[in-house]
Structure 1
């Protein structure tokens, strides 16, 4: 397939319109085909479908801060049949258009959620991990050369010096290392597949809040053990029992601080 024939990756707005049944049959067919071909796109669609974002509060915030008179005058210039319905797709487009008026869409969406969670990056990671099933990871190659290349990407963003031997865990298989990013903040995700409990991940981001001992919490049906050193915050998340996760966390912390 040449470059001109390659389908473009659907935007989040198009995926929201797909979920809201706002696309014609041809557009839906194209997105259906893209979802079948790209597991990452399918994961993104599931995330949007299951998102717990507070749309009502976001609308209220938009109403309080948007230049309502200016927006209404713009809408009034359109013929009645062309005026957009107040659905999520319209909201995405309107919010993006209001950036020039200092109404930033990020504040209304994931940024709004992040501020409400007091910058709790673990909650964002947990929501993302809740979509994982064993089939998400079991087809991935596990050769050490590929792992080293992936870890170098993490090292460059987070100032670490990771090698596969440091990250090996009993029973669980190291499957992939990748960088995620939210609002300019890099989060490394190192995923494992546990034969008994399924997907598990070690995640890390930069932190200057000081060293912290192990703590535990539960989110989206998964257990989390988290800790921090002087420059990074870490978490280990999975469906494993808490005691088992903490034993693995202690093993990893010992190696990573050596």
Structure 2
């Protein structure tokens, strides 16, 4: 028996249209509902939005790692009439083409990206947050019981003790708390909606690198303030000013360490 109350899972074509802002209000609302029902759709959106990531640099690196000498040695064993006049560029293109056409390509690219990111989890969060617009969050329920249930899931996975009262911020509306996962590593995302600056998020993952003071960076035209305690790494990300984010980070750090 079909459950007609559950949102229909959108196709990749529909998600691309969603990212390109080519859907009407009703269509966007249906996809927003589906994302709210199944947070893993956000991960699909993230992959579909990766066209702005540095693929060229990634595959240049793969080309440098390709076994060109071994391929050339194999070619040299062929009789001269059977051996086409192929140069190094052809081999690089062929090797990259074989990789791109397989599932291995995705894993190699992710591995390259991980090696390029000193603090890759913040880069992944920024990739994800770059997809957010106010409409992504506006329709989400914000009642206390829903928030507490979502926070309990985070507490279980990350060994925290969160409550809505600890996470409230001036002018911002707490919209959702959810667990994301990358290569088996859980990352909690607590999203807010700022009436002026749009979506903002407090994110946390486990860390054993010790306590670290506040630091700042910019990713995807968003400001980031990050820090760490003895067991967790934290970050605030949004279009708010860096000074505002640091002020909010100080408030949150004080509450969460109490």
TM-score (ref. length: structure 1): 0.71
Counterpart CA distance in 1 for 2:163 and 2:29 is 33
Superimposed CA distance per residue, residues 108-145 of structure 1 (whole angstroms, 9 cap, x where no aligned partner): 12222011112432122112111111111111110111
The answer as to whether partners of 1:46 and 1:131 remain within 8 angstroms in 2 is no
Partner deviation per Cα, 1:151-208 (whole Å, 9 max, x = no partner) = 1111111111111110011110000011111112111100000000000000001111
Larger radius of gyration: 2
State the number of aligned residues: 215
Write out aligned runs for 1:15-34 (5 A): none
Ranges in structure 1 where 5+ consecutive residues have no aligned partner: 20-32, 73-84, 97-103
Aligned counterparts, 1:6-155, within 5 A: 37=31, 38-39=34-35, 40=41, 43-44=45-46, 46-53=48-55, 54-57=57-60, 59-60=62-63, 63-64=66-67, 91=99, 93-96=101-104, 106=107, 108-155=108-155
8 Å contact from structure 2 (residues 58, 112) kept in 1: no
Give the corresponding residue for 1:255.
255
Ranges in structure 2 where 5+ consecutive residues have no aligned partner? 18-26, 36-40, 76-92
Q: Distance in 2 between matches of 1:9 and 1:157?
A: 28
Secondary structure class of the residue paired with 1:110: helix
Aligned to 1:167: 167
| Cα shift at 1:222 | 0.8
Secondary structure of residue in 1 paired with 2:66: helix
| TM-score normalised over the length of structure 2 | 0.71
